[in-house]
Amino acid sequence: MINLVLFGKPGAGKGTQASFLKAQFNLIHISTGDLFRNHISNQTDLGKLAKSYMDQGDLVPDQVTIDMLENEVDQNPQAKGFIFDGFPRTEAQAEALDLFLAKKEMNISATIALEADDEILIERLLERGKSSGRTDDQDEDKIRNRFEEYNTKTAPLRAYYTNQNKFHSVNGIGTIEEITTRLTHLINSL
């Protein structure tokens, strides 16, 4: 079983790359962003709560995210592995994910960070915001706030996963195909 965590700042290409890796390695892709949007569009209690934070450019609290994620993993008991996209975002979430997976006799195989310059990511997000309808992709101040949240809360995951010998950094600049090739090579080397 291959269980991967993809992380990087908003706009780094996690969702795009996850779709390729999902097909190539026959994995279930769990995007917290997609989970949030699904809950929001269905106006669930968790969705309404998540939206109130996202609209401010803030990260959704751990317990809301964990509840959505655990439900999704439980719905796929026959999976050959998972790609966790956008989760964990904090060390507390990483610990909760490790505990949850251990109960299912699973673990994280590798954590892959897609690295890219802030200014390139801002351009990507503003462009995406023109067609996505996402308010958090249409305002540069909100985008920069999300980056600051990432730097404060998520970047420390580098040390958490490095201590487990599971952290890998991949250049997230280039064509989609170039980045996919880099990721495929890394995963095949695990």
Catalytic annotation present for 182: no
Catalytic annotation present for 144: no
Catalytic annotation present for 134: yes
Catalytic residue among 134, 153, 158, 166: 134
Catalytic residue among 9, 51, 142, 146: 146
Q: What share of the chain is helix, strand, coil (3-state, %, to 5)?
A: 60, 15, 30
Catalytic annotation present for 146: yes
Catalytic residue among 9, 51, 89, 124: 89
Catalytic residue among 9, 14, 142, 182: 14
Catalytic annotation present for 128: yes
Catalytic residue among 37, 128, 153, 166: 128
Catalytically active residues, by annotation: 14, 89, 128, 134, 146
